[in-house]
C-alpha cells in the first residue's frame, strides 16, 4: 500500500514538472512550435514521445531535429514512422521560417495545414507513404527553392498541377503510386535541374509534353511505368545522361533501337508496343554494355534475332525478353553473363537444344524457357541458387536429370509440363505430378529412390539399409531384365513419336479451340489414333497429338492468322520441321474420303512458285492442311510497310525477315526489299507462272478464286510463292460455281468464275506492284481533281489518256526503265478488262511480262548506293574477298597470285555473296617467281616492282579503303588540312599517322557501325598498303584481323 502511494505521488510530481516546463516555452519559439505539432498530432501522451524530444533541453538537442551551425534555428525535422495521425495542424511547423528539409514519411497524415505553403525556404520535402488525398494544391508552386519532393504512396488524384515551371531548382521528383489521371503538364519541362523523375503507378495519359526529351540534360533516372502514356522510342534517344529508364506498362510504340545509347544501367520497356529488329541495337556505338544490370523487353512486338552484344553485359543480373515476335533462332548467346540471377526467355521462338553453357550461370535464381520449341535433353541445372524453373510447353525429351529432381523440394516453383519427358520418382505426389509434370511419363528402369522429395530421419536406419540391400540382391537379375526391356520399350516409344506422351495428351477428347472469330472442335476421342499424312515421308508416324504438341494445344500464342477458310497456326513437328497448320473450318461439306482425295491431289501439285502442301489430317469433321512455312512474309505486308509482326487476313508469316543461320536474311523494312523494279517484276512473273501452271498445267485446271497480295509469299530464298490454291474447289473446264469470287478490290465485275477471274485478280496485284497503292481505300489523285474509287479504275483511266506513268510508284521509278514500267501498267490494264473475253490468258501474261523483263540483276558493283549503306555489308564484302585471296595464296599449290585485284573484280552472286573474278588469268606463280607482266590497275598497283602475293595484299588494302571511305583509288577528292592528297592511299595513310583516320570514314556508313571498328578497318588498310612488301601482312593474317572487327549478324540476302 505504501509503495502504491509512493508511485502515485511520483507520477503527479512528474506531470506537474512537465507541465511547468511546457508552460515555460516561449510562444512561437521553435521548441514551442514543434512541441505543439507533436501534441496536436497525438504524440504528447504517446509512449514513445520521450524518444522524440526532452522538454527540459533545447530543441536543437531533440531527436529528429536538426539546427544550423550556431544551434539557433531549426533547419530540419525528420520524423518518419512515428504514428502521426490526421491533418497537419495550423500554427505549428509551418511557422519554422528557417526549415530547409522536412521528412514526415510513413505516418498517417491526411491533409496540409492552411499555412503549410509559407515554408518557402524548404529544399527537401518528403511526405511519402501517408494518407493525403484529393488534388495536389497548386500552392506547391510556392516552394521555389525546393530541390527534392517526394509525395509517393499517397492517394493524390485528379490533375497534376501545371505550376512546376516555378520549381526551377527541383532535382528529385517522386509521385509514384498515387492516382493522378491527367496528362503530364507542360510546366514540368522547365525543371531543367531534374536528376530523378518518378511518375510511375498512376494513370497519367496522353503524350509526353513537347520538348520532354531535351529538357533534362542532367536526368539520371526516369520512371514512367504503370501509366497510360503514349509515345515513341525516339522520344528518349536524346536523353543521353540516363542510367535508369523504366517506361513499362504504357502505350509506347515505335522502334526500340533508338533507346539504347549512352550509359544505361537499368532498362525496363516491358508491356508496351515497341517493335523493330533487336539486332540493330548493335549499331549503337555509344552504348556501354558492361554497365547493364537490368534489362526487361518483355511483352512487346520486337522482332529479329537476339543481339550478340549481350555477351559484353558481364554485369547483367536481370534479363527478360519474353513474349515478343523474335525470329526463329537457336538458343541465346549467354557467354560471359555470369552475373545473371534472373533469365526469362519464355515465348521467344527458340528452337534446338538448350545451350550447355547455361550450366555456367551459377547465380541464377529464376529461369523461364517456357513456350518455345526447344528440343533435346535438359542440361545440368542443379544450381544451388535456383528457386524458380519453368521449362513447360517445349519439345524436350529424355529423363529429367536426377540432380535436378533432388533440388525440387527446396525450390519455390517449377514446371515441366507439355514436353516429352520421363522421370523416375516413387514419392512424387499426385498433386505435384498433375500440376507440374503434365504430359510427363513415369518410367523407372532401376529401383526408385524414395527419398528424392521427402527426406526423413529414420530411427531404424540400419535395419532398413540391410533390408534394402537384401531386396536389391534378390531382384538384381529381375532388375537387369527389366532395364533391358525398358530401354527397348523407350527406344520404340521415342522413335515412334512418344506414344506415351500422346496418350497423356489425348485422353480428354473431343478437343475445342477458340479464336477471336470462331470456335472449332476436333471431335476425336484418342488423338494418337488420328493419323497425320505427310506426302513425301509416309513412314513418319505422326498423329493429331503431334499437331497438339507442335502448336501447344493450338494455343493462341501460335495463331498466325484467322483467315477466310479458318485459323492458321505455326508449329514445329519432330525434326524441327517448320510448318503452317491451316484448319479448314468454314464451308467444308465433303466426306472424309472426298476431302482426303482432294488434299492428296493438291499434295501432288508442285511448282517452284506454289506454296507446298506437305500433308493433312482429318480430325473428326475438321480438315487440317499442313503447309511448308514461308519465312519472309507476304507481299501485302512488304508493299505497305506494315509494322513488324502485324498480320493481315491470310498471313501465316510472323513478318520476321531475319533468319537464324548464315544463309538467312535480315529484314530492314519494306523499303529495303521492294525499292527496285527488278524485284517487283520478279514477284509478278513468279506469281503469273504459278497461275499459268494451275490453269494450263493441271488437269482438270485449278482456279484459285482468291488471288491477292496477301496470298503471295516469299520463301527462304525470296522466291514468290502463291498459297491457298485449290482450297475452294478443283474446277474443270466450264465450271461456273461462284461460291468464292475473290476478296474486295480483287473480284472482277462479272459473276462467272473462270480462269479469267484469276487473271483479273492477278492484274490488280500487278498494278499494286507498279503503283505501290492498295486496291481500295487508298488515295488515287488525278490532275482534274477527281478521285477514283479504286486502284483499277484509277490506273485504267490514266492509261486510256496515255498518262499511265503518273501512277508509277516514286520508290521504284528511278530503279527501272520507265517505258517498261508503263508497259507493265498496260498489261495490268489488259488483265482488268471488264469483259472476261478481253483478258489475256495467264500463259499470255507470262509472255508479256517476259517481254518487259528488266536486264539481268546487276552483279552489283561494290560502290552501289543501294547495296552499300551499312558497315556490316561492306565488312562482309571485305572479309569474303580476303578469304578468296587467302585461299589462292595459301590453299593452292602452287600459289596463285591474282595480280589485278580491284573493286571491279569483286562481284556479288545471286545471294549477294562476294566473289573474286579473273584469278589466274595472267599466270599461276610458284614461290620465288618474279614475273611482272601484270602488276595491277592504276591506283591498285604497289610502288614496288616485284610481283609476289604481297602485291595482292596491297591491292586488297586499296579495296578495303574504298569500302570504308567510299572514295575511288584515284581521281576523287582527298582533302587534308586545306591540302589535297594525290590518291586514296596517301590520303588515308596521312590521316591514320596522326590519329585522325575517323575523318576518312564514309558518312553514309558512319552511323551504321561502331566507329572504333571502322577506324580499325582503316588501320588494316594502312598495314596492307605499306610501301615495303615485308611490312604488309599475309592474306591469312588479314582474314584474322577482319574477323576481330566483325560486326554482329551481317545482312543476309538483301534485295536492293
CA atoms within 13 A of residue 821's CA, in its CB half-sphere? 27
CB 172 within 8 A of CB 151: no
Q: Under a CB-based contact definition with an 8 Å cutoff, are residues 246 and 224 in contact?
A: yes
CA dihedral (831, 834, 840, 842) positive or negative: positive
User: Which triple of cell numbers denotes residue 640?
Assistant: 505497305
Residue 983 burial (C-beta neighbours within 10 Å; 0-12, 13-18, 19+): middle
β-strands 172-174, 196-198: how paired? parallel
- The H or E element spanning position 613 is strand 613-619
What span, in angstroms and rounded, lies between the C-alpha atoms of 352 and 728? 37
Taking alpha carbons only, the member of 669, 666, 633 closest to residue 651 is 633
- CA 3 from chain centre, in angstroms, equals 79
Who's near 543: CB < 8 A, 6+ residues apart?
497, 502, 527, 528, 529, 530, 531, 532
Specify the pairing of strand 395-399 against strand 373-376.
Answer: parallel
Dihedral angle, C-alpha 27, 32, 34, 37, nearest 10 °: -70
d(Cα 194, Cα 217) in Å, to the nearest integer? Answer: 8
Among positive and negative, which fits the CA dihedral 824, 825, 827, 832? positive
> Under 8 Å CB-to-CB from 788, ≥6 apart: which residues?
780, 782, 794, 797
For residues 560 and 545, the answer to whether their CB atoms sit within 8 Å is no
Is residue 213 part of the annotated active site? The answer reads: no
Angle at 723 between CA 717 and CA 725, to 5 degrees: 140
Residue-wise over 877-908: b if at least 16 C-beta within 10 A, else e?
A: bbbbbbbbbbbbbeeeeebbbbbbbbbebbbb
Query: Is the distance from CB of 843 to CB of 696 less than 8 angstroms?
Result: yes
Strand 148-150 relative to strand 172-174: parallel, antiparallel, unpaired? Answer: parallel
Strand-pair partners of 268: 246, 296
CA 674-675-677 angle, to 5 degrees, is: 90
What proportions of the chain, in percent to the nearest 5, are helix, strand and coil? 35, 15, 50
Q: Of the listed 706, 724, 809, 1048, which one is catalytic?
A: 706
| Phi, psi (rounded to 5 degrees) for 791 | -65, -45
Q: Angle 798-800-803 (CA atoms, 0-180°, nearest 5)? A: 40
Q: Which residues contact 108 (CB under 8 A, 6 or more apart)?
A: 83, 84, 85, 86, 130, 131
Kindly report the backbone phi and psi dihedral angles of residue 646, in degrees, each rounded to the nearest multiple of 5, phi listed first: -75, 135
Q: How is 337-393 classified by DSSP, letter by letter?
A: -TT-SEEE-TTS-BEEEPPGGGGG-TT-SEEE--SSEEEE-------TT--EEE--S
**Under 8 Å between Cβ of 678 and 857:** yes
Which H helix or E strand runs over 693?
A: helix 677-696
Residue from 466, 640, 456, 660 nearest 576 by CA: 660
Give the integer Cα–Cα distance in Å for 819 and 840: 21
Contact 93, 122 (CB under 8 A): no
**Among all residues, which ones are annotated catalytic?**
706
Amino acid at each position: 500500500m505504501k509503495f502504491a502511494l509512493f508511485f502515485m505521488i511520483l507520477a503527479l510530481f512528474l506531470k506537474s514538472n512537465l507541465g511547468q516546463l511546457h508552460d515555460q516555452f516561449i510562444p512561437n519559439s521553435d521548441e514551442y512550435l514543434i512541441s505543439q505539432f507533436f501534441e496536436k498530432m497525438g504524440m504528447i501522451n504517446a509512449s514513445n514521445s520521450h524518444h522524440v524530444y526532452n522538454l527540459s533541453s533545447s530543441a536543437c538537442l531533440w531527436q529528429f531535429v536538426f539546427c544550423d551551425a550556431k544551434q539557433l534555428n531549426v533547419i530540419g525535422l525528420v520524423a518518419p514512422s512515428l504514428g502521426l495521425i490526421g491533418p497537419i495542424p495550423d500554427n505549428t511547423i509551418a511557422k519554422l521560417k528557417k526549415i530547409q528539409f522536412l521528412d514526415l514519411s510513413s505516418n498517417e497524415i491526411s491533409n496540409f495545414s492552411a499555412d503549410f505553403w509559407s515554408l518557402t525556404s524548404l529544399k527537401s520535402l518528403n511526405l511519402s507513404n501517408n494518407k493525403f488525398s484529393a488534388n495536389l494544391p497548386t500552392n506547391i508552386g510556392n516552394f521555389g527553392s525546393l530541390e527534392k519532393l517526394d509525395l509517393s504512396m499517397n492517394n493524390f488524384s485528379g490533375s497534376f498541377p501545371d505550376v512546376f515551371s516555378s520549381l526551377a531548382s527541383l532535382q528529385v521528383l517522386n509521385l509514384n503510386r498515387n492516382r493522378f489521371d491527367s496528362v503530364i503538364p507542360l510546366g514540368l519541362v522547365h525543371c531543367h535541374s531534374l536528376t530523378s523523375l518518378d511518375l510511375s503507378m498512376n494513370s497519367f495519359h496522353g503524350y509526353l509534353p513537347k520538348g520532354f526529351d531535351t529538357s533534362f540534360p542532367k536526368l539520371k533516372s526516369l520512371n514512367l511505368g504503370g501509366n497510360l502514356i503514349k509515345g515513341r522510342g525516339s522520344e528518349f534517344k536524346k536523353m543521353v545522361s540516363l542510367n535508369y529508364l523504366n517506361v513499362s506498362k504504357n502505350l509506347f510504340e515505335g522502334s526500340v533501337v533508338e533507346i539504347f545509347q549512352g550509359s544505361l544501367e537499368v532498362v525496363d520497356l516491358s508491356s508496351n508496343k515497341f517493335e523493330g529488329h533487336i539486332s540493330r541495337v548493335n549499331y549503337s556505338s555509344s552504348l556501354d554494355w558492361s554497365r547493364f544490370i537490368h534489362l526487361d523487353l518483355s511483352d512487346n512486338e520486337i522482332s529479329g534475332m537476339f543481339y550478340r552484344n549481350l555477351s559484353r553485359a558481364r554485369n547483367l543480373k536481370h534479363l527478360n525478353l519474353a513474349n515478343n515476335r523474335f525470329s526463329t533462332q537457336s538458343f541465346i548467346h549467354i557467354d560471359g553473363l555470369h552475373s545473371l540471377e534472373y533469365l526469362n526467355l519464355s515465348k521467344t521462338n527458340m528452337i534446338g537444344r538448350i545451350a550447355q553453357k547455361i550450366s555456367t550461370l551459377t547465380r541464377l535464381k529464376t529461369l523461364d524457357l517456357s513456350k518455345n520449341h526447344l528440343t533435346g535433353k535438359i542440361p545440368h541445372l542443379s544450381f544451388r541458387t535456383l528457386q524458380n524453373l519453368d521449362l513447360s510447353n517445349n519439345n524436350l525429351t529424355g529423363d529429367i536429370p536426377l540432380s535436378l529432381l533432388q533440388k525440387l523440394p527446396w525450390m519455390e516453383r517449377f514446371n515441366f509440363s507439355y514436353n516429352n519427358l520421363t522421370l523416375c520418382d516413387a514419392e512424387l505426389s499426385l498433386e505435384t505430378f498433375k500440376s507440374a509434370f503434365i504430359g510427363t511419363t513415369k518410367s523407372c528402369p532401376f529401383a526408385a529412390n524414395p527419398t528424392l522429395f521427402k527426406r526423413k530421419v529414420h530411427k531404424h536406419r540400419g535395419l532398413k539399409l540391410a533390408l534394402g540391400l537384401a531386396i536389391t540382391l534378390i531382384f538384381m537379375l529381375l532388375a537387369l531384365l527389366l532395364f533391358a526391356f525398358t530401354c527397348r520399350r523407350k527406344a520404340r516409344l521415342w522413335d515412334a513419336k512418344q506414344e506415351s506422351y500422346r496418350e497423356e495428351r489425348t485422353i480428354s477428347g473431343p478437343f475445342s479451340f477458340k479464336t477471336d472469330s470462331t470456335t472449332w472442335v476436333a471431335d476425336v476421342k484418342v488423338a494418337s489414333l488420328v493419323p497425320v499424312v505427310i506426302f513425301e515421308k509416309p513412314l513418319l508416324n505422326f498423329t493429331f497429338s503431334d499437331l497438339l504438341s507442335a502448336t501447344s494445344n493450338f494455343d493462341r500464342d501460335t495463331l498466325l492468322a484467322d483467315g477466310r477458310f479458318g485459323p492458321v497456326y505455326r508449329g514445329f513437328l519432330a525434326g524441327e520441321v517448320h510448318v503452317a497448320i491451316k484448319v479448314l473450318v468454314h464451308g467444308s461439306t465433303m466426306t472424309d474420303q472426298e476431302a482426303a482425295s482432294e488434299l492428296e491431289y493438291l499434295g501432288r501439285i508442285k511448282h517452284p512458285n506454289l506454296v507446298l502442301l506437305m500433308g493433312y489430317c482429318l480430325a473428326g469433321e475438321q480438315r487440317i492442311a499442313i503447309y511448308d512455312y514461308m519465312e519472309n512474309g507476304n507481299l501485302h505486308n512488304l508493299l505497305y510497310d506494315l509494322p513488324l509482326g502485324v498480320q493481315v487476313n491470310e498471313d501465316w508469316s510472323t513478318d520476321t525477315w531475319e533468319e537464324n543461320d548464315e544463309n538467312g536474311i535480315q529484314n530492314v523494312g519494306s523499303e529495303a526489299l521492294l525499292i527496285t523494279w527488278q524485284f517487283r517484276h520478279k514477284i509478278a512473273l513468279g506469281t503469273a507462272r504459278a497461275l499459268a501452271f494451275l490453269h494450263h498445267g493441271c488437269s482438270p485446271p485449278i482456279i484459285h478464286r482468291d488471288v491477292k497480295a496477301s496470298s503471295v509469299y516469299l520463301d527462304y530464298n525470296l522466291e514468290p510463292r502463291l498459297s491457298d490454291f485449290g482450297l475452294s474447289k478443283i474446277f474443270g473446264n466450264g465450271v461456273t460455281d461462284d461460291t468464292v469470287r475473290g476478296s474486295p478490290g480483287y473480284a472482277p465485275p462479272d459473276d462467272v468464275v473462270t480462269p479469267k477471274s484469276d487473271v483479273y485478280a492477278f492484274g490488280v496485284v500487278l498494278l499494286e506492284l507498279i503503283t505501290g497503292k492498295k486496291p481500295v481505300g487508298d488515295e488515287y489523285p488525278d490532275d482534274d481533281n477527281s478521285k477514283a474509287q479504286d486502284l483499277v479504275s484509277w490506273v485504267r483511266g490514266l492509261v486510256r489518256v496515255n498518262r499511265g506513268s503518273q501512277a508509277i510508284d516514286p520508290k521504284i521509278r528511278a530503279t527501272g526503265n520507265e517505258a517498261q514500267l508503263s508497259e507493265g501498267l498496260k498489261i495490268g490494264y489488259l488483265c482488268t478488262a471488264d469483259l472476261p473475253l478481253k483478258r489475256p490468258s495467264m500463259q499470255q501474261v507470262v509472255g508479256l511480262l517476259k517481254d518487259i523483263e528488266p536486264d539481268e540483276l546487276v552483279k552489283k558493283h561494290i560502290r552501289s548506293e543501294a547495296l552499300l549503306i551499312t558497315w556490316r555489308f561492306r565488312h562482309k564484302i571485305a572479309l569474303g574477298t580476303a578469304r578468296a585471296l587467302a585461299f589462292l595464296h595459301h590453299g593452292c599449290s602452287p600459289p596463285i597470285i591474282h595480280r589485278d585485284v580491284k573493286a571491279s573484280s569483286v562481284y556479288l552472286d545471286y545471294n549477294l555473296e562476294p566473289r573474286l573474278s579473273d584469278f589466274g588469268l595472267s599466270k599461276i606463280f610458284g614461290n620465288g617467281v618474279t614475273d611482272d607482266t601484270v602488276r595491277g590497275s592504276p591506283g591498285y598497283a604497289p610502288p614496288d616492282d616485284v610481283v609476289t602475293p604481297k602485291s595482292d595484299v596491297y591491292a586488297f588494302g586499296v579495296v578495303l579503303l574504298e569500302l570504308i571511305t567510299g572514295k575511288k583509288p584515284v581521281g576523287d577528292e582527298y582533302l587534308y588540312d586545306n591540302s589535297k592528297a594525290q590518291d586514296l592511299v596517301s590520303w588515308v595513310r596521312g590521316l591514320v599517322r596522326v590519329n585522325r583516320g575517323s575523318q576518312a570514314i564514309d558518312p553514309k556508313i558512319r552511323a551504321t557501325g561502331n566507329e572504333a571498328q571502322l577506324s580499325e578497318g582503316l588501320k588494316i588498310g594502312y598495314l596492307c598498303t605499306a610501301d615495303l612488301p615485308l611490312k604488309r601482312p599475309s592474306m591469312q593474317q588479314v582474314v584474322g584481323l577482319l574477323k576481330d572487327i566483325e560486326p554482329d549478324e551481317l545482312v543476309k540476302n538483301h534485295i536492293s
